[in-house]
Amino acid sequence: MISFSRVCKRYPQGYDALKDISFTVANGEMVFVTGHSGAGKSTLLKLVAAIERPTSGTVLVNGQNVDTLTPRAIPFLRRNLGLIFQDHKLLFDRNVFDNVALPLHIIGYERREAARRVRAALDKVGLLAKEKALPITLSGGEQQRLAIARAIVHRPSILLADEPTANLDADYGGQLGDLFRSFNQVGVTVVIATHDQQLSARLKPRVIALRGGALDATLAAAAA
Amino acid sequence: MTMIWLSQHLRTIGATLGKLARAPLANLLNAVVIGVALAFPAGLHVVLSNLQALSRQASAAPQISVFLAREATAADTARLKQRLEKHPSVRQLGYISKTEALKELRASSGLADVIESLERNPLPDTLVIDAKETSATALEALRDEIRRWPGVEHVQLDSRWAQRLDALLYLGQAVVLLLGALLGFALIAVTFNTIRLQVLTQRDEIEVSRLFGATNPFIRRPFLYFGAFIGIAGGVMAWAIVLGGVYLFNGSLAELSRAYGVALRLTPMSWQDGLSLLAFAAGLGWLGASLSVNRHLAASGVALS
């Protein structure tokens, strides 16, 4: 469960990225966070992952108050999350398999169990045949799917994706949408920041719309 | 839990060795720099401990040699011998006659030709005293007493030089410690810089690991192992340099010993000393890496939590 209560985020330069945001995402829900670029979508996801901290207000993730977590506790919060970044953040010095194995390695999975899970995740996104390939040799869509495999390999309870269909053609975007739906169907809470109308039309999620850092109910109603 | 901990450590060690092997030249050069820096105090330590063993041997059985006047007759010698045997400070008395002394010199020094050409024996009769009390003051008192006896030409305290050497060696030991400390700093500096470069080149990996829930110890661990391994490699290098040095030195010492008729040989570093050297190097490498990784993780902006 994710719960924002009167959350404001002001960056040090004085820019207000989020203004008085309150909403709740229940377990197993799929939610889209929409809005123009600069509306605060990425900041919202960063607050959930404790990459940024709120200036005021409370962010609860799985019952834990992110703001009061000690630095030592934050890694353990993040192990419940699967993060997909706009720029993928793949590691180009290692092959597909090792990229996906990283979260399991961090948690401390035994080698054989880790290999089994890595292959299951790669199979899920259709990259099983490319486990030995280096990320640089993959297409944009394949890199995106690799990032998704890495985000779900440790079976997180919450999947956060920032513009997952950006820079992909519509056909690929549709495939990714089906993938996210399949995760949601097995009980994963999915939060996707996007302004992809087609994806929204396909998945028909609940929409949280942001405009200039504030919630916009009319925009949300229009999108839904 | 312990199994996870252990397997993560083993995996890190494996990955670190792999990383070392992937840049063999750069890491070899690092090891050489550290090795040369460590070989200096380590080599000095070897020389010192050899000298120390020598002086300990000499000062363990301090002897007083009493050289009799050359014109002393057999009767004079016998009288002095008797007087010394009765002396309360004397534990044991040895006697080397001038003929024996000459024979020994001829046998051991390779100066046979020179000795053959002598018209008469230049050596005096000698009495060698093992004293009951071996403290420096007691020995000096005994020497001063005997020196005044008639028929005695010269009294020599054989352990004097050893005591002086001992004092000098203490000074040497202090120099080794100082040198070791200074060059230890060099080792820390080398690993500090190496790890700094690694943190910079692995920013992405560190950032992604953080985002997927890596703890600080998990992120630090490979760098710390790397620092320790660099240190150990440098320690092995230093050990090899010292061993090679001792080998070469013993080669030239062998010629010297033949010329002077004494057995001179450097004993190489003991296993214990060698392993201490490796542990010392590993510890300093670890320390340098730890300082570096803490500093640069904080400074590089990837310290998200």
Residue B140 pLDDT = 81
Q: State whether B212 and A51 contact (CB < 8 Å).
A: no
Find chain B residues with C-beta within 8 A of A84's C-beta.
none
B152: nearest Cα among B233, B68, B221, B208:
B68
Check whether A13 has a pLDDT greater than 80.
Answer: yes
Residue B302 pLDDT = 44
Q: State whether B212 and A106 contact (CB < 8 Å).
A: yes
Are A143 and A135 in contact by the 8 Å Cβ rule? The answer is yes
d(CA B8, nearest CA chain A) in Å: 6
- Would the CA dihedral through B18, B22, B27, B31 be positive or negative? positive
Bridge partners of residue A24, in order along the sequence: A3
Mean pLDDT, range A6-19, rounded to an integer: 91
- Residue among B7, B11, B211 minimizing CB distance to A78: B211
Q: Which CATH architecture has domain A2-80+157-223?
A: 3-Layer(aba) Sandwich (3.40)
DSSP one-letter string for A2-40: EEEEEEEEE-TTS-EEEEEEEEEE-TT-EEEEE-STTSS
3-state class of B152 per DSSP? strand
Are A202 and A223 in contact by the 8 Å Cβ rule? The answer is no
The pair of three-digit structure tokens given for residue A36, joined into one six-digit string:
């123009």
Q: What are phi and psi of A54, to 5 degrees?
A: -70, 145
Mean pLDDT, range A193-204, rounded to an integer: 87
Estimate to the nearest angstrom the gap between the alpha carbon of A187 and the chain centroid: 15
Q: Which of A50-64, A165-179, B32-46, B97-111 has the lowest mean pLDDT?
A: B97-111
pTM of the model: 0.75
Cα B248 to Cα A179: distance, rounded to the nearest angstrom:
71
Q: State whether B208 and A111 contact (CB < 8 Å).
A: no
pLDDT band at A56 (very low <50, low <70, confident <90, very high): very high
Residue B109 pLDDT = 65
The DSSP H or E segment spanning B63 is strand B63-68
Q: Which CATH architecture has domain B63-158?
A: 2-Layer Sandwich (3.30)
Q: State whether B213 and A77 contact (CB < 8 Å).
A: yes
Residue, of A19 and B300, whose pLDDT is higher: A19
Digit-coded pLDDT (tens) for B201-210: 888 899 999 9
Mean pLDDT, range A165-194, rounded to an integer: 88
Residue, of A125 and B162, whose pLDDT is higher: A125
Are A74 and A51 in contact by the 8 Å Cβ rule? The answer is no
Digit-coded pLDDT (tens) for A66-88: 988 888 899 999 999 999 998 89
The CA distances from residue B239 to A92, A156, B280, in Å, are 39, 51, 12
Residue B159 pLDDT = 66
- Residue among B204, B214, B304 minimizing CB distance to A106: B214
Are A180 and A173 in contact by the 8 Å Cβ rule? The answer is no
Are A150 and A105 in contact by the 8 Å Cβ rule? The answer is no
Residue B250 pLDDT = 87
The pair of three-digit structure tokens given for residue B292, joined into one six-digit string:
């570096």
Q: Nearest 5°: CA angle at B173, between B172 and B174? A: 90
Check whether A161 has a pLDDT greater than 90.
Answer: yes
The residues on B that touch A, with CB distances below 8 Å, are 3-5, 7-8, 11, 204-205, 207-216, 218, 304-305
DSSP one-letter string for chain A: -EEEEEEEEE-TTS-EEEEEEEEEE-TT-EEEEE-STTSSHHHHHHHHTTSS--SEEEEEETTEEGGG--TTTHHHHHTTEEEE-TT----TTS-HHHHHHHHHHHHT--HHHHHHHHHHHHHHHT-GGGTTS-GGGS-HHHHHHHHHHHHHTT--SEEEEESTTTTS-HHHHHHHHHHHHHHHHTT-EEEEE---HHHHHHH--EEEEEETTEE-HHHHHHH-
The residues on A that touch B, with CB distances below 8 Å, are 49-51, 71-72, 74-79, 81, 83, 89, 91-93, 102-103, 105-108, 110-111, 150, 154
Residue A183 pLDDT = 93
Mean pLDDT across chain A: 91
What is the four-CA torsion angle of A14, A18, A20, A24, rounded to 10 degrees?
-150
Q: State whether A75 and B215 contact (CB < 8 Å).
A: yes
Q: State whether A75 and B213 contact (CB < 8 Å).
A: yes
Q: State whether A91 and B205 contact (CB < 8 Å).
A: yes
Residue B304 pLDDT = 39
3-state class of B69 per DSSP? coil
Domain boundaries, chain B: 14-58+163-299, 63-158
pLDDT band at A159 (very low <50, low <70, confident <90, very high): very high
Are B44 and B158 in contact by the 8 Å Cβ rule? The answer is no
d(CA A81, nearest CA chain B) in Å: 8
Q: b/e for B19-57, b at 16 or more Cβ within 10 A?
A: bbeeeeeebeebbbbbbebbbbbbbbbbbbbbbbeebee
Mean pLDDT, range A151-161, rounded to an integer: 95
The pair of three-digit structure tokens given for residue A57, joined into one six-digit string:
């207000």
Domain boundaries, chain A: 2-80+157-223, 92-155
- Residue among A50, A75, A83 minimizing CB distance to B214: A75
Residue B252 pLDDT = 83
Task: List, for chain B, all residue ranges whose pLDDT scores fall below the cut of 70.
Answer: 1, 57-61, 108-110, 158-160, 162, 260-263, 299-305
Which chain A residue shows the shortest CA-CA distance from B305?
A71
Cα A7 to Cα A53: distance, rounded to the nearest angstrom:
10
Residue B305 pLDDT = 37
Mean pLDDT, range A185-192, rounded to an integer: 95
